[in-house]
Structure 1
């Protein structure tokens, strides 16, 4: 019976085992295995197995196609077109303008020019601790302006 079901399912071993198991379970629940009934059991088992395969096929064809968990990744990694880039730049520019000049300056020097905290402190003529503080508040305010939720900090 396992070979028969395996052939019906096109070689899908796992599904074949499930169908055979379900067939035997239904046999155990529904049939009397003593006397003359045991001899006529073979055709009944094959018919139940075939019906389970057909039911499974119909169920799978009626449901939407299942996708693996990484399908969303294809959308994320897809190339963005110029319109997306322009819109993102406009939204970011508007959020950037909502920041104070001191915060904009620190963000620009740190992220755009790629300078370290110490280098930004020298360029702007302020202490490194002030650069760190302004950078923290600038990023926080920029997230609020863009509507991005604050990341959760573990350990608090």
Structure 2
């Protein structure tokens, strides 16, 4: 009887489908392709801007600098920085729309 119990347990789905492992399985990483594509599209669109607009946008949005810090670094009035941000973002939006990117 003990022999039959061992054989039944061995043949059960429990032994065929579950495998013990010493280490945990790797975690699945989220797909990064959309983030990479977005970065590429933004880089391409930024390249179409003037150097002044591009520099201000990069400092403000990617560097996290405020208007006054950017103004001091570029030696221009804060109003000029605000103006460049406004017109630069408008041009960036148009450049992205030209390649088919629209606001969700």
TM-score by length of 2: 0.63
| Structure 2: tracts of 5 or more residues without a match | 1-29
RMSD across aligned positions (CA): 1.9
C-alpha distance in structure 2 between counterparts of 1:149 and 1:133, whole Å = 24
| Structure 1: tracts of 5 or more residues without a match | 1-79, 151-156
Name the counterpart of 1:121. Answer: 71
Name the counterpart of 1:154. Answer: none
Larger RCO: Structure 1 or Structure 2 (Cα < 8 Å, ≥ 6 residues apart)? 2
C-alpha distance in structure 1 between counterparts of 2:65 and 2:42, whole Å = 21
C-alpha distance in structure 2 between counterparts of 1:125 and 1:94, whole Å = 27
TM-score by length of 1: 0.43
User: Equivalent residue of 2:44, what SS?
Assistant: helix
User: Equivalent residue of 1:126, what SS?
Assistant: coil
Instruction: Kindly report which structure 2 residues correspond to 1:1-156, keeping only aligned pairs within 5 A, or say none.
Output: 81-147=31-97
Deviation at 1:131, TM superposition (A): 0.2
Greater helix content: 1
C-alpha distance in structure 1 between counterparts of 2:54 and 2:72, whole Å = 17
Give the number of aligned pairs.
72
C-alpha distance in structure 1 between counterparts of 2:50 and 2:66, whole Å = 21
C-alpha distance in structure 1 between counterparts of 2:31 and 2:102, whole Å = 26
User: Equivalent residue of 2:65, what SS?
Assistant: coil
